[in-house]
Structure 1
Amino acid sequence: MSFDFDLFVIGGGSGGVRAARVAAGEHGAKVGLAEMDRYGGTCVIRGCVPKKLMVFASGFGDVVERANAYGWDYGGGPFDWSRFRTRLEGELERLEGVYRRLLKESGVETFDARARLRDPHTVELSTGETFTAKHVLIASGGRAVRPALDNAGLGIVSDDIFHLDRLPETILILGGGYIACEFACILHGLGVGVTLYCRGDQILRGFDDEARGLIAEQMRARGIEIQTATNIAALAPADGGDGGRGALRVTATTGGERTFDRVLFATGRAPNTPDMGLEDVGVELGARGEILVDEYSQTAVPSVYAIGDVTDRINLTPVAIREGMAFVRTVFGGTPTPVDHELVPSAVFTQPEMGTIGLSEEEARAQGPVEIYATSFRPMQTSFIDRPEKVLMKLVVCSETRRVLGCHIVAPDAGEMIQLAGIAVKMGATKEDFDRVVAVHPTMSEEIVTLRAPVRS
């Protein structure tokens, strides 16, 4: 059978673009790609990139105070959101242009349209065009969801943060995950009064307890109000407000009413699978709407594959890119390549940051005997000027094999540190391997190789 394309990719995010480029540019495949929104996907347009730039911006909030404590004589001033946003929009346009150019240079034919499956080999676009493809790769990503709450439309989600015409004076953030905590720190650093309602008994569920406990402590010390075991019972305009420039009245499940300029819902994300014709052609979906795939990212329909957030495996941009590369090697390179989802390092860009890889202390204890090596201290930079910020360096070690099962760092630039520590953990390094490394002094990270005695076992 003759097809219009060897591969048709649905979704122009990092994973889909990488797969399309490599299949076309390195393997000579005829590739088409459809994207209904902006090229670059969640990460580049409404996630990692703009968020990290906001993290950088928010980190300058107390730089004058710190510099003055070190002997400089600086004056401060207010944060100019409009000036930052203009520069941010220019950077995102530049990056989107890079994605479009890379696709064009690789020979990928692009379509600015929404795509859905008509049958296992046919893609139908919102423009009315249809194309056949030997293989279809779905990389449609995910989207922020709102809670089932009356007037939920008055609140905003993370996508909306980057398009605000002005920063609010106060904001309530609902959620306790990494998106909620990151934006709590960002907005606080930009001068917004932040309150966070977390439905659980602690923020950052699923991460190491000691690490997330320190982050919560540091967030509160900075002035962020965190209320645990708390949800929104009711949301309504206050004094005729509309959720835009007007205030919102919030009733908490713990009782009492408060007024905020904005309410941000950071209560989760869902795979972008509705109205794509997936189940009609035999693609199986999970309980959350995620596409079910095997270790090679293949669905129940042999010609259809899926990668990235739409599969709800590990929702990280570098993972989606790795999945895309494994797909290309499997389908076009003649080398079946399963995706490796073991020991993936990650970072939470709170203030301070958290870098993590492997098992938390709690997860490791459930699997067998472990030893915990950890230290929490004020680093030189902050102790010198008598600031309260503390950091954490922690190793979770198997008592029997001595292998490092997990590494957790809470510190400025922890994301940079965990990338390098992750190499050793991925290689199966033991505690004694860490011990053999000479410390780089004076640094915060030297504590990772100078932890001599376990604090718990």
Structure 2
Amino acid sequence: MSEFDYDLFVIGGGSGGVRAARISSTHGAKVAIAEEYRMGGTCVIRGCVPKKMLVYGAHFAEDLHEADRYGWDISGAEFNWTRLRDIIQDDVSRLEGLYAGTLGNADVEIYKERAVLTGPNEIKLASGKVITAKYILIATGGWPANAGCPGEEHALTSNEIFHLEEKPKSIIIVGGGYIANEFAGIFHAFGSDVTVANRSEKILRPYDQEIVGKLQEMGEAKGIKYRLSAPLTKIDKNDDGTVTVHFDDGGEPQTADVVMVATGRVPNSANMGLAEIGVELDKSGAVVVGDDNKSSIDSVYAVGDVTNRVQLTPVAIREGHAFADSVFGGNPRTISYENIPSAVFSAPPIASVGLTEDAARAQHGDDIKVYKSDFRPMKNVLSGREERGLYKMITQGPEEIVIGLHMIGPESSEILQGAAIAIVGKMPKQVFDDVVAIHPSMAEELVLFK
């Protein structure tokens, strides 16, 4: 008989925690998981999945507008926010059930309540039950950062934005990252007056700035307003339900129906007993772990956004799987954080993998070449839309090893996923040149760089 109730107890039912629990169980471990809210975590419940559904809904705004150029007569088309909102929430509930079902099929016991650590091998549930486990995995994800100013309680975050009672006529989105820019495109397409306000002069700082410049240029042409170098100082709630937002940029306060704060996410590690039992946390509250996902306590591990390494769902899944294989599968392994592809589901979307042009020049100086294709997608030509796409390829050395690919244009994320294989495989540009183009397509621009 084991001296512990479980071999593994996972706290957090998001993508990383669920993957770790399921794989650990298939390796023969006795596993339980606790989730205090809804199974599925940020991505499924209030993140990338419902947001992508909103993005799909937003695409119809432009498609319907241009339909007549493709022979369709469409009249009386109206957008219904509450209908889309409720359909999306129904599907989120469906996905939540699938996550729970997957764990049940893997013989993982589920506790639908909050869990905190009371010792290196001990967990206390909200019900008062005390459980012991040989290993504990923290997979509680992240949480939206607050506005950090007077009146912050009047602002919404990405947690609440999916549940609006009605579509706002106007919205101020504070932040310059992917969440801010994605929701800017969504609400603009739905007919809201949108302002993106950012404390610094640049948006989407991790991305290639030439590509980002194209996004901002296109956003401005559509009517999205950008208020940059504008730190947020105060939010006032007005008697009519609107909010007035104050910025330290010398300009006038701005009033809107809704203000959404999207200034980043912080590790969800507070009030869990971690520091009290000796788990090292960094200044942001992230659990400090090694390449093996182990914390400063040998029995406590962590994966996903709570470690604040790379805040992406596929990364959390791989970390969870690597943890399970290493601890219970007899196959110690780590994952690579180099050349992780990413996308911004803006309007149009951005996709990126590898070094940006600025980073490549900083690392390799003049030993790089930059190839570009600035083109107008065929669909836009016929519809009359002026938006152009821009693809960039960055190579290094005499063999022209591809070290960066950056794109803006329709379906960029779908196109980049396959091309990212070449970056991870450290392939030369010649491999792209040797591939026969699929014509007519946007993707063919990747094999036609000159």
Q: Give the TM-score of the pair, scaled to structure 2.
A: 0.97
1:412 paired with 2:380, answer: no
Name the CA distance, whole Å, in 1 between partners of 2:205 and 2:50: 24
Contact 2:199–2:232 (CA<8 Å) still a contact in 1? Answer: no
Contact 2:174–2:198 (CA<8 Å) still a contact in 1? Answer: yes
Contact 2:13–2:38 (CA<8 Å) still a contact in 1? Answer: yes
Name the CA distance, whole Å, in 1 between partners of 2:65 and 2:269: 48
Name the CA distance, whole Å, in 2 between partners of 1:18 and 1:409: 31
Aligned counterpart in structure 2 of residue 289 of structure 1, from 279, 282, 285:
285
Deviates most, 279-288 or 46-55: 279-288
Contact 1:202–1:213 (CA<8 Å) still a contact in 2? Answer: no
1:74-223 to 2 correspondences below 5 Å: 74-223=74-223
Which residue pairs with 2:246 in the alignment?
251
SS in 2 for 1:196: strand
Name the CA distance, whole Å, in 2 between partners of 1:227 and 1:400: 43
- Map Cα deviations across residues 152-176 of structure 1 (whole Å, 9 max, x no partner): 1011001111111111100001000
Name the CA distance, whole Å, in 1 between partners of 2:95 and 2:237: 38
Which residue pairs with 1:328 in the alignment?
324
Contact 2:174–2:197 (CA<8 Å) still a contact in 1? Answer: yes
Contact 1:64–1:76 (CA<8 Å) still a contact in 2? Answer: no
SS in 2 for 1:274: coil
Which residue pairs with 1:260 in the alignment?
256
State the superposition RMSD in angstroms: 1.1
Structure 1 counterpart of 2:128, which letter? G
Q: C-alpha displacement at 1:14, in angstroms?
A: 0.7
Structure 1 counterpart of 2:212, which letter? R
Name the CA distance, whole Å, in 1 between partners of 2:359 and 2:154: 39
Which residue pairs with 2:271 in the alignment?
275
Name the CA distance, whole Å, in 2 between partners of 1:252 and 1:331: 50
Which residue pairs with 1:317 in the alignment?
313
Name the CA distance, whole Å, in 2 between partners of 1:350 and 1:192: 15
Q: C-alpha displacement at 1:337, in angstroms?
A: 0.4
**Residue correspondences, number:** 446
Unaligned segments of structure 1, at least 5 residues = 453-457
Contact 2:279–2:297 (CA<8 Å) still a contact in 1? Answer: yes
Name the CA distance, whole Å, in 1 between partners of 2:234 and 2:291: 43
Name the CA distance, whole Å, in 2 between partners of 1:293 and 1:257: 43
Which residue pairs with 1:375 in the alignment?
373
Which residue pairs with 1:455 in the alignment?
none
Q: Find runs of 4+ consecutive structure 1 residues off by over 2 angstroms.
A: 231-234
Structure 2 counterpart of 1:148, which letter? G
Contact 1:393–1:445 (CA<8 Å) still a contact in 2? Answer: no
Q: C-alpha displacement at 1:72, in angstroms?
A: 2.1
SS in 2 for 1:61: helix
Name the CA distance, whole Å, in 1 between partners of 2:4 and 2:253: 61
Aligned counterpart in structure 1 of residue 383 of structure 2, from 382, 385, 406:
385
Contact 2:247–2:253 (CA<8 Å) still a contact in 1? Answer: yes
Contact 2:69–2:382 (CA<8 Å) still a contact in 1? Answer: no
Which residue pairs with 2:295 in the alignment?
299
Q: C-alpha displacement at 1:64, in angstroms?
A: 2.1
Name the CA distance, whole Å, in 2 between partners of 1:303 and 1:279: 14
Q: C-alpha displacement at 1:342, in angstroms?
A: 1.4
Which residue pairs with 1:19 in the alignment?
20
Contact 1:173–1:264 (CA<8 Å) still a contact in 2? Answer: yes
Structure 2 counterpart of 1:34, which letter? A
Name the CA distance, whole Å, in 1 between partners of 2:76 and 2:444: 34
SS in 1 for 2:74: coil
Name the CA distance, whole Å, in 2 between partners of 1:195 and 1:21: 43
- Map Cα deviations across residues 53-104 of structure 1 (whole Å, 9 max, x no partner): 0000011012222111223221142210111122111101111111111111
- Map Cα deviations across residues 170-224 of structure 1 (whole Å, 9 max, x no partner): 0001000000000000111111110111112121111111111111111111111
Name the CA distance, whole Å, in 2 between partners of 1:401 and 1:304: 45
Contact 1:157–1:264 (CA<8 Å) still a contact in 2? Answer: yes
Q: C-alpha displacement at 1:126, in angstroms?
A: 1.0
- Map Cα deviations across residues 234-287 of structure 1 (whole Å, 9 max, x no partner): 22123x14xxxx111222222212210110000111101111111122211112
Contact 2:23–2:325 (CA<8 Å) still a contact in 1? Answer: no
Contact 1:64–1:75 (CA<8 Å) still a contact in 2? Answer: no
Q: C-alpha displacement at 1:401, in angstroms?
A: 4.2
Contact 1:172–1:263 (CA<8 Å) still a contact in 2? Answer: yes
SS in 2 for 1:384: helix
Name the CA distance, whole Å, in 2 between partners of 1:212 and 1:97: 38
Q: C-alpha displacement at 1:376, in angstroms?
A: 1.4
Name the CA distance, whole Å, in 1 between partners of 2:268 and 2:244: 31
Structure 1 counterpart of 2:245, which letter? V
Name the CA distance, whole Å, in 2 between partners of 1:83 and 1:339: 41
Structure 1 counterpart of 2:214, which letter? L
Name the CA distance, whole Å, in 1 between partners of 2:392 and 2:245: 39
Contact 2:64–2:74 (CA<8 Å) still a contact in 1? Answer: yes
Structure 2 counterpart of 1:149, which letter? C
SS in 2 for 1:270: strand
Which residue pairs with 1:356 in the alignment?
352
Unaligned segments of structure 2, at least 5 residues = none
Q: C-alpha displacement at 1:422, in angstroms?
A: 0.8
Name the CA distance, whole Å, in 2 between partners of 1:251 and 1:288: 26
Identity %: 44
Name the CA distance, whole Å, in 1 between partners of 2:284 and 2:168: 33
Which residue pairs with 1:447 in the alignment?
445
Name the CA distance, whole Å, in 2 between partners of 1:428 and 1:385: 38
Contact 1:251–1:258 (CA<8 Å) still a contact in 2? Answer: yes
